[in-house]
Amino acid sequence: MSANDSTVPVKTAVILLNMGGPQNKDEVHPYLKELFQDRELLKLPFQKILGNFIAWRRTPKIQERYAEIGQYSPTLKLMEKQAEQISKKLDEVHPESAPHACVSGFRYSSPRTGEMIKNFENAERIVLFSQYPQHSCSTSGSSLCDAYRWLDKNKAGKHNGKISVIDQWWDREDYTELWAFLIKRKFEEMKKAHGLQDEEIRIIYSAHSLPESYCLEKGDKYNEEITGSYENIEKVLKKEGLKHEGALAWQSKVGPQRTKWLTPGTPTVIAETTQKAILMVPIAFTTDHIETLDEIDIEFRGYAEEVVDHFARVDCFNLEEKFIDLCVRLVIKHMEEKYNSSIRPCCVNCEGKDCSAMRQFFGSKPVHQTA
């Protein structure tokens, strides 16, 4: 069902949370400005001033990167199609909560999460479904705090109790199996196309990086959840008979370069490769955007061509039917659990102004995790 279709009353609205992305050249600077002024994503001195300056400096480069891939962010169009398929399948397999509407709700671009909540204020239930399988304060946390602030600002107390959250689903067996399926499919394609043996292909899992202090001092568990995802997938692949070397790396250091980031960096891991081929896995992403289409497919490919004969990337989930089915199962499980919001607890040394209040608003407990 379309977000603008008001002819049929919606019983259950599902809003897919993501960062979003600019749809044209003019949207790049406003998008980056919001991103760098977001203290949940990145803490800077004089945040508004410095964030705007960094956005202004980076805008031409990001515009060039979009020109390289021949399009602006594909995230919106892809997620609109995902949403359409999810709502259609939910109507089919779970008629008791139908009719369903599924839409995107973005943090830094349109359609905004608050706008989508307002569109469906007459629905019986609204489910905020984080599209970040691994929770981080900088992604899931920022999106959920943004939704909370909109609700609080608009005095939407009447929504309290009917809006719930799906968060942190990296450790599900079907999530692991989906990645294993996509990796094995591309792995076998590489072997066949280039006459390679298993041992001649190195699988590099690349995730968006964070400053080390976010994880080691503040207590964000994102790095542990990414590592857990990597280990789970590797176990399945090895069990299925793949004989290869796997490695975990971190990409996209967005912010002050003097900051110490999670290591090893993806370019470093690529440079250390001794095999004939590299297969990249964008492990933290579900849908294609600039970090897969440009950073991996163009920039990292360029690095790889210096050290290996062959390079490929595993597809993001995008419109893979198994991913749509996974999303539907997650929503139905959430319904069966009486719409219980289970958001990962605040960091041990939480620095966020709204983190605790957000969790309390959505009814997620406990508020704090133990060390």
Catalytic residues: 19, 35, 41, 107-108, 208, 288, 291, 295
Provide the 3-class DSSP secondary structure of residue 105.
strand
* Buried/exposed 224-247: b ≥16 CB within 10 Å, e otherwise: ebbbebbebbbebbeeeebebebb
Extract the tokens encoding 178.
């989906």
The length of the chain, given as a count of residues: 371
CA-derived radius of gyration, the chain? 20
Q: At what angle do helices 47-69 and 28-36 cross, to 10 degrees?
A: 140
Among 224, 248, 222, which residue's Cα sits nearest to residue 234?
248
Residue labelled with tokens 């043996």: 197
Extract the tokens encoding 60.
């031409």
Among 315, 243, 264, which residue's Cα sits nearest to residue 285?
315
